[in-house]
Amino acid sequence: MKTAALKEKAIDMLEHLSGDRLKEAVDYLKYLKGDYDAFDVNKKVKEALVEVKAIKEGKVKSKTLKEFLREI
């Protein structure tokens, strides 16, 4: 994809995020730019592992790929 198309897709995704998700997305983008204090990767990894464990145990319904991507 061309850079312009990727930027448009990113903008579209950001426009549809809730307020909480938008803040996390912005913090993650800051992290990617080098501000490593803006986003706690370890916390996100731990949360993801807990969620995977809950899905495997049948406590949480697994998400479709589209649902997962919308959350990001």
Q: pLDDT by residue (tens digit) across 39-60?
A: 777 787 888 888 878 878 887 7
Read off the pLDDT band of 68 (50, 70, 90): low
CA 15, 20, 22: angle at the middle one, nearest 5? 30
